[in-house]
Amino acid sequence: MQNASVSLVDTSLDDLVDKLMRQQNAAFIKDGFPGALLFATGLVELAPTNYNLLATLSFLYADYALFVEDENVEYAISLFTTGTDYGMRALKVNNAKFRKAVEEGTKIPEAVKHLTKDDLKALTWYGINLSKRITLQLANPHEIIDLPDAVAAGKRAIELDPNYAWGASWNILGIFYAIVPEMCGLGGGANASREAFAKGNQVENGEFGLINVFIARYLCPLIKDPDLFDRLLNGVIAMDSCKLGNGLCMINEMAKQKARYSLENKSKYFD
């Protein structure tokens, strides 16, 4: 009976996420996210060690935080923080070797070697949540300390499957390389950033609009190319939102919202 209940809970959340992902009205999606998160959090309380529920909740927190970060940074940081925690919970639940290593004090960049393709969903959204939480607080030295963990998560996810989640983990590397100067010896700089973003764009043949939003926001200011900034963002706004993943319109609707904000606030990126 308990297994049947957990299976029903799992299916309920998967159905909710699928319906949310296929919505094309950005305002409706954003307004509906808090309710979806409450529902999903309630389901996790019923099955607190269910890997798929925990990993899916990490994904939902990342998505909602991306929706709101431009208008409310502090709220987005809190969402990314919660999403990071759910991602880590999922990884520990799903992989005993990883859990043991972390609990015994092994640093994340070393511990991720224990993660496998079975952990990819949680690993991807753990990395996305953590990297975005950090990039919203780059002036905070405490946040910078966690940057190697985010990069290690992104690199391990790419090693396991570079095409997973529309190539989302390439964004982690593209952003990281753009914000870390080349002379630091950490593989950063404009060329490395450009290459990472290009590899991400190849996965969905340029139909994953968030990648071009991140190129515009992070790489274009670095290479001082406001014209490319405009072209990329206008291209996102003009794209067919629903080509991604055979109808997963929500992601590109979010990208369009962020593209419009970026164009309206261009001076923020080019001081």
- What is the predicted pLDDT for the residue at 18? 86
pLDDT digits (tens, 9 = 90+) for 171-218: 999 999 998 865 455 678 899 999 999 999 999 999 999 999 999 999
State which residues of the chain have pLDDT below 50.
1-2, 4-5, 183
- What is the predicted pLDDT for the residue at 8? 54
- What is the predicted pLDDT for the residue at 200? 97
Question: Are the C-beta atoms of 40 and 56 separated by less than 8 Å?
Answer: yes
Q: How far apart are CA 134 and CA 128, in angstroms?
A: 10
Quote the distance between the C-alpha of residue 96 and its chain's center.
Answer: 24
Question: Are the C-beta atoms of 67 and 27 separated by less than 8 Å?
Answer: no
Neighbours of 233 (CB within 10 A): 26
- What is the predicted pLDDT for the residue at 11? 66
- What is the predicted pLDDT for the residue at 117? 98
Question: Are the C-beta atoms of 188 and 174 separated by less than 8 Å?
Answer: no
Question: Are the C-beta atoms of 138 and 179 separated by less than 8 Å?
Answer: yes
Query: Cα–Cα distances in Å, from 96 out to 23, 46, 104?
Result: 37, 22, 12
Question: Are the C-beta atoms of 9 and 43 separated by less than 8 Å?
Answer: yes
Q: Is the pTM of this model over 0.75?
A: yes
Residue 112, classified by CB atoms within 10 Å of its CB into exposed (0-12), middle (13-18) or buried (19+), is buried
- What is the predicted pLDDT for the residue at 2? 43
Question: Residue 205: helix, strand or coil by DSSP?
Answer: coil
